[in-house]
Chains A and B, each alone.
Chain A
């Protein structure tokens, strides 16, 4: 095994401390987003035995993250739930360090960890209570186990590592279905790197059995709702390949650019190519399907594979920019310069991502003060699960209040619901940008029943959130 010097381990600790600070800096940076609220509610339901596999938002997926999220929330509220993301991001950084270390060297391991923590998406997910980072961690861990298994002389140890790799990959895929895209390339990888019988016995067969059982027992019963989730609710979010390519480029342009530099690394270019190939299924899937949903978070799965290739790329860039200069300080100078550029780039991307959801703190504060426990709030929002967000944000002060989602109803139904439920407040919550103008408002017949009590214009990354609150007269 390669020796790790004290300086190397200090550097690794330094990188981890940086990651910890970056992840935990101002955890209450904004109000909860709907995905966070949904996760916490789902976790609570599972913990209290209200598991509902056929509900829309379950669709058979294993509730690893929601449970963790709910536990975190129980301990520290929203900040506690968000801290779970920080733990997994740091864990994934360590996994990537080990991958770089096992495949290349300590230097490349350190660069892998650092580049991952410099990545805007990774930083964003470390501060957000969503399940993507858990799936990414399990995917990274699975790949690490497969890589380590290649180095083993003993069949039993190799088999054990392959088996655990299969288990990790299975749990990753059932945590986020997107990860399933990487199963075929990883199976090919294992068959390529190992003897056929080993790959078959220790990896392919266990993985197939787990997946088949899971599909049979969990997915098929929830098939219809799964299909509905996959194909219905965001009809407007399917884009032509060109436009989608630009969106993907926004998040993966830099990682791929660095990985391409890795292709020219003097010694390891072949492996860089392999990593680029392994990262590709996500991009291909999004381009072919035109599905833009969760793209900014899904890219983390490609980044898991791209980071070691990026480390090679950055190392090569350091060599390239300092080529044929014999002084010992020149290559470190250029490598550090490249890293500084990437750090600023990552911070800038992170700032955009963190403000891609409007901060509703002022809205919640208003409802908190002007509302009352037991009130009924009807919500007409762009997002169909906005009621979870309002409920989660106000549950501490108004635990007995009701939150009704009316966004998906037709105009007639909306009026009927409003007359039937007699809400105390009606909230219109919508995004205005260059392409969208305000369309959500009260049915005319109800103008006399409600009065506008507050308007909020909350700027964020992609536009302005226009929120109007009406109160029953």
Chain B
């Protein structure tokens, strides 16, 4: 036990592999889960037998009910993720017909354009069909421009489900792939998953819904350590693979491919619920069709930007769940297996979390204001039971969550959702209009709303908790009460709840006052620039470190004033874009001897073709490149102990700074590259050309008008998986003769890295 505790305390963060195939790890995790379940059951038994406050029975039952609900959902979670699958894509089925559906209603044409461009670039033969429920001429014109099929219906019955069914009636293909209007597929989307349909029983294949706008409301990013936590990562990276094992994976309405025969078997996409996707999954499973969850990011979408669209989305899901619960209750539906019923049950009851959370949020203020406790006493006996239970159940959850949990962040989002979920318990009893399908606003549309009223529930929790703490402390100081330990513990609990509430308020307000709403995709592209005036003919090499169709930001040595005009040659892997830009923002520092500027540039008069080219590059290469650089999970304790591999922390210190480099090899080949990081012994380059391992190369690191020549040997090379936009990562060991210069470069890069990361 002591060794266990010691190792636990000593644990380090390492990169997650999101691989569930290690039998030792999985077996250990399941044993821990069983222990956690047993401890939880004992704790709940002890609570009900020994701890209820006879003077506050309602309060006692309320808190106990919240704890029981937490235990039930945790057990269902354990069941769902008992044996998550790790699948390998089978070879594609040749010569099948596929229709790609893009249902849309009110999404902007900018958002839709990106999706259609990416759909057109899907490598597998297919037809792209836009199902416009908004009957908008501009969408029709866009489809004409991009050679997609445009369909719209006169009556818009059954919302998205009805729209897709309308498309199904038109479609002649054997399979349909469905994408929401903001979901941009990668070119090999169909090739990677169509092979699963060799099994004639497979009704649909679902892939994760990943979102690239990592500054959204539902993401938390640590840029320095390249870590993203997404509110839906637990679901898509673990719960879905877990349910896949039980043949209970969900169709989630987008990023999926379905066999039309299976859809015909259930008379199309299910109607009667505003979460048509879940109902469709239930019906397909009940009819004996099986499902596949392929856990690989093959499409990227836009996540809810602020609390407002997040609220709309979750309200829709919550209400939809109740509709499914009433109309197609998985417990009574024939044809489902017991595991499928349990998996669906766990999805349906989660809006009750709103009730559970409000109990947890109001318990400390009630105890602080009134001195009444929902248990007999908060004494050593209680803590002796509670602390081990809490520690073991938390440990168990974290192991079963396989590094995708992030419990405190989950708690933060529970705070953001609790009132929304409470509302979903009432909405089914309201007039029909409140139960209608509402599209989640995305992109600019989702950013315009000011959700002041939406943060009221969190503001009330925050202010109520702080007021309760002040009240109780004053009473203690005046000797009007004697329960100092109870006051202190409840104050800590109330402070924790206040922190959760404040995080939601603060993050939402930060988003509201953000200057630029379109997410700029992080990248590292060499760019030649020169001021547009007649005086300066010199072109300087810099690095574009994030890009959108409307602008980019540039790390340049030298200074350019705000308002200045620049001509940029953006050196994309296969094409160079010639762009005229205006500097709209400028920040600068001195990095050793060099003035470094971080420039915010806006394109002007870029042609639509140029924007399309840029959009395709961003969607099909840049997004997946940068998302691969970030990790979305941490290694669990069990993984760290049982899988021996090099720890992340063991790597030498690396300064993260992008600087342009020109490589010249012995063979006479030259190539542009970007230095991505630098350590005291080597550098990592993203190069436009591949250099073989062991080859000696000369590099000029470009620092404005000066060059810093370095010599090194290619130790490792990796090819980024995209044949249309080839890029190679080269690990270079710097030669002894250049180490002094490298040390100087490390100093420069360190300052630039700190400056860029803020």
Residues of A within 8 A of B (CB): 242, 245-246, 248-250, 253-254, 257, 260, 263, 269-270, 273, 317, 320-327, 330, 334, 337-338, 340-342, 344-345, 347-349, 351
Contacts and interface: CB of A to CB of B under 8 A. Distances in A.
Contacts of A345: 476, 484-485, 487-488
Interface stretch (B320-328, B446-454, B492-500, B744-752): B492-500
A249 B477 contact: no
B654 interface: no
B169 interface: no
Contact of A246 (B9, B379, B482, B491): B379
Contacts of B498: 321, 334
Contacts, number: 95
5 contacts: A250-B485, A273-B5, A325-B502, A334-B495, A341-B487
B461 to A, nearest CB: 13
Given A253-B485, A269-B9, A337-B469, A348 B496 contact: no
A323 B477 contact: no
Contacts of A257: 383, 489
Contacts of B379: 246, 249
Contacts of B381: 242, 246
Given A246-B379, A320-B496, A347 B477 contact: yes
A154 to B, nearest CB: 29
A325 B503 CA distance: 6
Contacts of B408: 320, 323-324
A253 B378 CA distance: 11
Given A245-B380, A270-B10, A345-B484, A323 B412 contact: yes
A269 to B, nearest CB: 5
B496 to A, nearest CB: 5
A260 B387 contact: yes
Nearest to B483: A348
A156 B212 CA distance: 60
A320 B489 CA distance: 15
Interface of B: 5-6, 9-10, 220, 379-381, 383, 387, 408-409, 412, 469, 473, 476-477, 479, 482, 484-485, 487-489, 491-492, 495-496, 498-499, 502-503, 506-507, 510
Q: Which 7 A-B pairs have the closest CB atoms?
A: A321-B499, A249-B380, A348-B484, A341-B491, A344-B473, A345-B488, A269-B9
A337 B387 CA distance: 23
A344 B489 CA distance: 12
Nearest to B220: A324
A349 B484 CA distance: 8
A345 B379 CA distance: 16
Contacts of A324: 220, 408-409, 412, 503, 507
Contacts of A249: 379-380, 383
Given A249-B379, A348-B484, A320 B473 contact: no
Nearest to B379: A246
A320 B502 CA distance: 12
Nearest to A252: B380
B506 A254 contact: no
B492 A317 contact: yes
Given A320-B408, A323-B412, A323-B499, A340 B473 contact: yes
Nearest to B477: A344
Best-surrounded residue of A322, A326, A337 (most CB of chain B within 10 A) = A337
B506 A330 contact: yes
Contacts of A317: 492, 495
A249 B387 CA distance: 14
Nearest to B387: A260
Nearest to B497: A321
Given A250-B485, A338-B495, 8 more contacts: A254-B488, A260-B387, A270-B10, A323-B409, A325-B499, A341-B491, A344-B488, A348-B477
Contact of A344 (B476, B502, B507): B476
B325 to A, nearest CB: 33
Most buried by A among B379, B387, B485: B485
A322 B499 contact: yes
A249 to B, nearest CB: 4
Nearest to A253: B485
Contacts of A254: 485, 488
A338 B492 contact: yes
A101 B499 CA distance: 28
A342 B495 contact: no
Most buried by A among B9, B381, B496: B9
Given A253-B380, A323-B408, A273 B499 contact: no
Contacts of A349: 484
Contacts of B491: 341
A348 B482 CA distance: 8
Nearest to B491: A341
Nearest to B490: A341
A193 to B, nearest CB: 16
Contacts of B412: 323-324
A294 to B, nearest CB: 20
Contacts of A323: 408-409, 412, 499, 503
Contacts of A344: 473, 476-477, 484, 487-488
A81 to B, nearest CB: 28
Given A322-B499, A348-B484, A341 B469 contact: yes
A321 B496 CA distance: 5
Contacts of B484: 344-345, 348-349
B494 to A, nearest CB: 10
B506 A263 contact: no
B215 to A, nearest CB: 12
A253 B487 CA distance: 13
Contacts of B409: 323-324
B479 A321 contact: no
A254 B490 CA distance: 12
Contacts of B492: 317, 338, 341
Contacts of B477: 344, 347-348
A317 B488 CA distance: 13
A23 to B, nearest CB: 19
B393 to A, nearest CB: 15
B499 to A, nearest CB: 4
A344 B383 CA distance: 22
A270 B482 CA distance: 35
B263 to A, nearest CB: 42
A193 B414 CA distance: 45
A269 B5 CA distance: 11
A320 B383 contact: no
A325 B506 contact: yes
Given A269-B9, A344-B473, A327 B499 contact: no
Nearest to A256: B383
B9 A320 contact: no
A260 to B, nearest CB: 7
Contacts of B510: 326
Nearest to A244: B380
Given A325-B506, A345-B488, A273 B495 contact: no
Nearest to A245: B380
A330 B510 CA distance: 14
- Quick one: which of A249, A317, A321 has the most chain B CB within 10 A? A321
A324 to B, nearest CB: 5
A249 B379 CA distance: 8
A324 B409 CA distance: 8
Contacts of A342: 488
A337 B503 contact: no
Contacts of A321: 495-496, 498-499
Contacts of B499: 320-323, 325, 330, 334
Given A337-B469, A341-B492, A253 B506 contact: no
Contacts of A242: 381
A362 B477 CA distance: 26
A132 to B, nearest CB: 22
B377 to A, nearest CB: 10
A337 B492 CA distance: 9
Contacts of B387: 260
